[in-house]
Chains A and B, each alone.
Chain A
Amino acid sequence: MTTVLDLAAPMRSTPAAAGTVARDWTAFAATDASGVCRMEFALEGITCAACMTEIEQALRPLAGVETARVNLSNRRLALAWRPDAISPDTVLARLAALGYPARPFDPALATGGSSAEQRRLLRAIGVAGFAVMNVMLLSISIWSGNVTDITPETRDFFHWVSALIAMPAVAYAGQPFFSSALSALRHGRVNMDVPISLGVLLAVGLSFVSTLTHGTEAYFDSALMLLFFLLTGRFLDENMRRRTAVEAETLAALRADTAIRLGADGSLADVPVSAIRPGERVLVRPGERVPVDGIVLTGASEIDVALVTGETLPEAVAPGAAVHAGTLNISGVLVVRVSAGAADTRLAEIERLLANAAAAKSATMRLADRVARAYAPVVHAVALSTFVGWTLAGTSWTEALVIAIAVLIITCPCALALAVPAVQVVTAGLLFRAGVLLNAGDAIERLAAVDTVVFDKTGTLTLPDADLAGALDPDAVLRAGDLAGASRHPLAAALYRASGIGAPLEDLREVPGCGVETSAGPGRRLGSPAFCGVAEADLAAFRDAHPGASVIAYAEEGRAPVLFAFAQRLRPGAAAVIAALRAEGIAVEILSGDTVAAVARTAADLGLDTFTGAADPAAKIARLAALKAQGRRVLMVGDGLNDAPALAAAHVSMAPASGASLAKVSADAVFLGEGLGAVPESLRLSRAALRAMRQNLAIALVYNLVAVPVAIAGHVTPLIAALAMSGSSLIVTVNALRLRLARRRGAVQGQHSPAGATPPGATEAAA
C-alpha cells in the first residue's frame, strides 16, 4: 500500500507488468552536500490544522527523517531524509495508513511556494512602509509647525532627515515601477507606470531642491505613501497569480504524471515524466495514461483518444503506431519508444495553430492600459500648459515650474493604478472559492463581455470517464462486479463502480485483447462480446438500442451472456447550466471533434440546435473566427489537446481541471469539480467586477477633476497632496471590497451558489 502503482498487482499474464515498479527516488529529490535528500509531496485529504499536526507527529519519530513540515496553505509536505536510513516509500506508506495519500512533485515542474517576484515585492513593501511611517511623523511636525512657531533650523533639520530616509527608500522600493516604465518607453508605449514613476521622481526631486534652498514645503511623504499603496496592490495581484500557479502544480502532481522507464537491461523504474529522454522506452500498462508522445514498439491495445481528438470511440494501436501523451491505454501492455518534440505531425500542427492564436490574441488591450494610454498624455499636457500659463502671467519660471510639478504630483494616478487591480484581486479570490482558478488577471474583464459560449463536447459537457449506461439484465451488474474489479480496463472499472461491490476477485486469468476469466467455481468471463460467446444478432440489436456506446459482455456457465453498454455521461447539471446561460440571453453552441451523429445526440439532449461535429483544431479556430466576424465575444470551454488552439484563439476561455495540460495552460481559467456551474458563476462575478472597475475609474476621474484645478491654481500644499492621495486610494479599495459583501448576501439568499463547484482539492483528491 505504498503508491497507486501497487494497485497494478492484478495484472498477471504479462511478466513485464507483474508486481510493483520501484520508484527511482534520485530522479525526484535534490540531495545536498551532507547527503540529505529533500523534496516536496502533494498531499490528498488535508482539510484542517489537525491533519497537519497528525502528519508531522507521525513522521518525525521515523528514523532517518530529518524534517517533515506540512504547508497548510498549499497542501504540501516538505520532507528531508537520509537515504541510507529510510526510503521515502516507508514515509508514503505511513501517510497512506493515516489516510493522506501523497504524490511526489515532478522537480522540473515544481517551483516552490512563493516566487522571487513575491519576495522582492514584500521587501520593497517593508522598506517603503518603514520610510513612510518615519517621514510621516516628521511631516506632521512640520505641517503643524508651519502654522505655529517652528524655527527654520528645526524645519531644515527635519527636511534633511526626511530626505535621507526617503531618497534611498524610493530608489529601492520604486524599482518595480521604474523598470516597467523604462521598458514600456523603450518599446514606444505608455503604461500606468510611466506617470507613476514621473510623479514619484519629480516629487522627490522637487522636495530635495526645496530642502537645499531652505523651503517650507516638501513632498517626501506623498511620494513614499504612493509607493507603499501601489506596492501593496501589486503584491496582492502577484499573490493571486501565484496562488493559482501553486494550486495548478498541486493538481498536476495529484494527477500522478509519472512514467515507467524500461531500461536496456529490462529493468523498470518509476520516474518523473521530465526525466524521460527521446529514444528511451517506457512501459504503459492498461488503465494508465500514456506519459509521452512516441511510437509503439511492442504490444497491441486500444487507446482512448478523447483527450486528444474529442472522439469517444477507442482507437486500435499496433507496433509502429504513434501514441500521444495524455491518451488512455485501455486493454494491453505497450512498450513505447519516446519520440522527440515535433516528430508527430498532429501535435506539431496543434502547436503551430496554438502559437498563431496566441500571437493574434496579444492585440487585445487591457482596460487599465487603455485608460493609461489616454490618461498620461492629457496629464502631461495639462502640466505643461500650467507652466506656460503661469510664465506668461508674469510669474518667475522657477515658481511656475514648482506649480507644474505640483500638478504632476497630484495627478499621479495612485487611485487609477489601484482601480483595476484591487477589483481583480477581490474577484479572483471569489472565483477561487467558487472553484475557478484564473491564469490571467485580465480574464475577468474579458469574461464580463461574453455573449456566446462555445462548449467542446467530450470531457467538457460530458464527464471524462465513461459510465454504465445500460445492461440487458440489471442483476448481472452485481454478479459481474467482483470480476470487473480485478481488471484494469476502464470499462470494467466503470462496471465495478456501478456494482458497488467491495472486494475484487483475486484469482483470475487475463486473456490479452479479450478480457478476464476465472476458473474457480462456475466458469465466468468478462470481456469482448465474442470472448463471452454473444450471438451476432443479439449484439447488433443491443448496439442499436445504445447508439454510440462501448459494449462489453459477461458470461457465466449455465446462464445466457449479458451485455453492458457504457457511454459518456453529461456532467451533472449541464442542462440546467445551459438553460441558465440561455435565459441570460447568451448564445450557446457545441463545437466538437467527435462524429456529427454523436454531437447531434448530445445537442438534442441539451436542447441545443447549433452544433458542429467532426471539427479538427483548424476547423474549431475557423468557427471561432466566424463568430468573431459576427461581432460575438466568445467564451470557449474545452478540455482536449485538440481544443488548445481554440482556447487560445477565443476571446476568453476556460478548461476543466480534468483536461489535457496543454488545454489548461492555453485557457484563461481552469475550473474544478464535476459540474459546469463554474461557467455561469464566473460570468456573473466578472460582470459585477467590471461594474466595480468602471465605478473605480470614475471615482479616480472625479478626484482628478476636483484636485487638478486646485493644483493649477497653485494652492496645493504637501498636506493636501497627502490627504487627496490616500483618500482616493482608500475609496477605490473599499469599493472593490464591496464585491465581497455582495457575494455574501447572494450566498445567504442561496441564489447564486455554484452548482457542482467545490473548493479546491475536494474533488481532485478523488480523481
Chain B
Amino acid sequence: MSVLVYLVPIALLLGLSGLVAFLWSLRSGQYDDLEGAGWRILDDGDV
C-alpha cells in the first residue's frame, strides 16, 4: 500500500489544478453572460 504515499498527492494536485482553473475562469469574467456564451461558440465569424 506504500504506493498510496505518492498516488494520493498526485491525485490531489490534479484536483487542485481543476480548482485553480475554475477560479481563473471566474476571475476572467466567463460567468458574466451565461446566456450569450452558449451562442458564441456557434459564431464562426468572430475570429
Contact B42–A134 (Cβ < 8 Å) = no
Residues of chain B within 8 A of A151, CB atoms compared: 1
Residue of B nearest to A113 (CB): B32
Q: How far is the CB of A102 from chain B (nearest CB, A)?
A: 16
Q: How far is the CB of A127 from chain B (nearest CB, A)?
A: 7
The CA-CA distance from A329 to B11 in the complex, in Å, is 69
The CA-CA distance from A165 to B15 in the complex, in Å, is 11
- Identify A49's interface contact among B12, B18, B32, B42, CB under 8 A: B42
- Identify A154's interface contact among B4, B11, B39, CB under 8 A: B4
Residues of chain A within 8 A of B42, CB atoms compared: 49
Q: How far is the CB of B21 from chain A (nearest CB, A)?
A: 10
Contact B23–A73 (Cβ < 8 Å) = no
CB of A133 closer than 8 Å to a CB of B: yes
CB of A72 closer than 8 Å to a CB of B: yes
Contact A127–B19 (Cβ < 8 Å) = yes
Sort chain A's interface into a size bin.
20 to 34
The CA-CA distance from A721 to B42 in the complex, in Å, is 45
Binary per-residue interface labels of chain A (64-82) against chain B in the complex, 1 for a CB within 8 Å, 0 otherwise: 0000001111100000000
Residues of chain A within 8 A of B35, CB atoms compared: 72-73
Scan residues 1-47 of chain B and give those whose CB is less than 8 A from a CB of chain A.
Answer: 1, 4-5, 8, 11-12, 15-16, 18-19, 22-23, 26, 31-36, 39-40, 42-43, 45-46
- Identify A161's interface contact among B8, B19, B26, B43, CB under 8 A: B8
CB of A385 closer than 8 Å to a CB of B: no
Given known pairs A72-B39, A123-B23, the reply for A133 and B15 (CB within 8 Å) is: yes
Contact A114–B11 (Cβ < 8 Å) = no
- Identify B22's interface contact among A126, A133, A157, CB under 8 A: A126
Give the interface centre of B18, B19, B42, B46 by most chain A CB atoms within 10 Å: B19
Give the interface centre of B8, B16, B33, B39 by most chain A CB atoms within 10 Å: B33
Given known pairs A57-B45, A134-B11, A154-B1, the reply for A126 and B23 (CB within 8 Å) is: yes
Binary per-residue interface labels of chain A (133-174) against chain B in the complex, 1 for a CB within 8 Å, 0 otherwise: 110010000000000000101100100010001000000000
The CA-CA distance from A346 to B31 in the complex, in Å, is 45
Contact B31–A49 (Cβ < 8 Å) = no
CB of A539 closer than 8 Å to a CB of B: no
Residues of chain A within 8 A of B32, CB atoms compared: 71, 73, 113-114
Residues of chain A within 8 A of B8, CB atoms compared: 157, 161
The CA-CA distance from A119 to B28 in the complex, in Å, is 11
7 closest Cβ pairs, A-B complex: A49-B39, A72-B36, A130-B19, A71-B33, A73-B35, A72-B35, A126-B22
Contacts A134-B12, A165-B12 supplied; 6 other A-B pairs, CB < 8 Å: A49-B39, A57-B45, A73-B33, A134-B15, A151-B1, A157-B4
- Could you show 5 A-B contacts with beta carbons less than 8 Å apart? A113-B33, A127-B19, A154-B1, A157-B5, A165-B12
| Residues of B bordering A, CB below 8 Å | 1, 4-5, 8, 11-12, 15-16, 18-19, 22-23, 26, 31-36, 39-40, 42-43, 45-46
